[in-house]
């Protein structure tokens, strides 16, 4: 409820050029993160749906996407608040490093299924492999959605920083991509893997920034030592270019 009230209060900021100048880097990072992660959902849902009887496939796909949307909203409602707690941002950064490792393994895996192969399996009137029940396929998707939703929300919340409005824009964009264009994005990432590499490096940067930022917050709380907000600001401070440098 508090997040909704904050967004309503800040919605007028979208009309301010200063707001866009301040947050355009975070928004671009979130855009690439959402593009990179949106294709995973389509592949998981498609693979699970291809294993059920053709009469159930449309329902599996619908509820698989609906479950992912609900989980992203639930995680987003608490993620940014939790990341304000000293230490949890550090832990979230470590978790994102693991996400980066999983993404790296997927990118270099030449045997990973493509969206074209999955759509061919969905169009087939027979099931691929051993046929499973509707609920078994849906449970498989829900378990995968739990992990993917947490990965997406953590990355987006980390990139958004303390701006609730940026987080909401990122969440809305992720849901739209997942519901409307995830199949196309999955094919695009398979055809042009360099897009996935860019997304991987941005998520890696967000993870390292979360670890760096919160380690300084921990040092501030424990030893009253001044801290930089982000890796970029810390880099500028080391060069004597940041705000208050030389003071």
**Quick one: tokens of 114?**
């493509």
Residue 143: per-residue pLDDT:
78
CA 67 to chain centre: 16
Nearest to 216 by CA among 63, 64, 75, 93: 93
- Sorted by sequence, the CB contacts under 8 Å of residue 55 that are 6+ apart come out as none
For 107, 181, 186, 232, the CA distances from 102, given in Å and listed in that order, are 9, 23, 16, 26
Q: How far apart are CA 112 and CA 57, in angstroms?
A: 22
Domain definitions of the chain by residue range: 28-207
Confidence check: pLDDT of 38 > 80:
no
pLDDT digits (tens, 9 = 90+) for 130-152: 677 778 888 887 877 777 777 87
Looking at residue 212, its pLDDT comes to 82
The better pLDDT of the pair 235, 34 is held by: 34
Task: Spell out the residues 6+ positions from residue 186 whose beta carbon is closer than 8 angstroms to its own.
Answer: 38, 39, 40, 42, 43, 114, 115
**78 C-beta neighbours (distance < 10 Å), count:** 12
Cα distance from N-terminal residue to C-terminal residue, the chain: 41
What does the pLDDT average to over 206-213?
84
pTM of the model: 0.69
pLDDT tens figures, 50-84: 777 777 778 887 888 788 788 888 887 777 677 77
Share of the chain above pLDDT 70, in %: 72
């Amino acid at each position: 409820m508090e997040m909704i009230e904050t967004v309503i209060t800040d919605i007028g900021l979208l009309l301010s050029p200063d707001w866009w100048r301040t947050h355009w880097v975070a928004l671009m990072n979130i855009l690439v993160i959402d593009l990179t992660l949106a294709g995973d959902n389509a592949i998981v849902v498609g693979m699970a749906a291809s294993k059920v009887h053709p009469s159930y496939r449309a329902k599996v796909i619908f509820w698989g996407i609906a479950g992912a949307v609900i989980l992203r909203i639930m995680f987003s409602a608490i993620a940014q608040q939790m990341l304000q707690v000293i230490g949890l941002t550090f832990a979230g950064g470590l978790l994102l490093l693991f996400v980066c490792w999983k993404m790296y393994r997927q990118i270099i895996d030449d045997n990973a299924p493509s969206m074209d192969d999955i759509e061919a399996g969905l169009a087939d009137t027979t099931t691929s492999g051993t046929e499973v029940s509707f609920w078994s396929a849906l449970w498989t998707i829900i378990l995968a959605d739990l992990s993917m939703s947490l990965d997406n929300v953590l990355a987006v919340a980390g990139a958004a920083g303390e701006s609730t409005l940026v987080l909401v824009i990122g969440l809305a964009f992720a849901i739209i991509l997942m519901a409307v264009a995830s199949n196309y994005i999955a094919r695009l990432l398979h055809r042009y893997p360099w897009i996935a590499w860019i997304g991987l490096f941005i998520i890696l940067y967000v993870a390292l920034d979360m670890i760096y930022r919160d380690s300084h917050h921990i040092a501030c709380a424990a030893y009253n030592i001044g801290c930089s907000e982000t890796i970029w600001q810390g880099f500028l401070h080391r060069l004597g270019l940041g705000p208050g440098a030389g003071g």
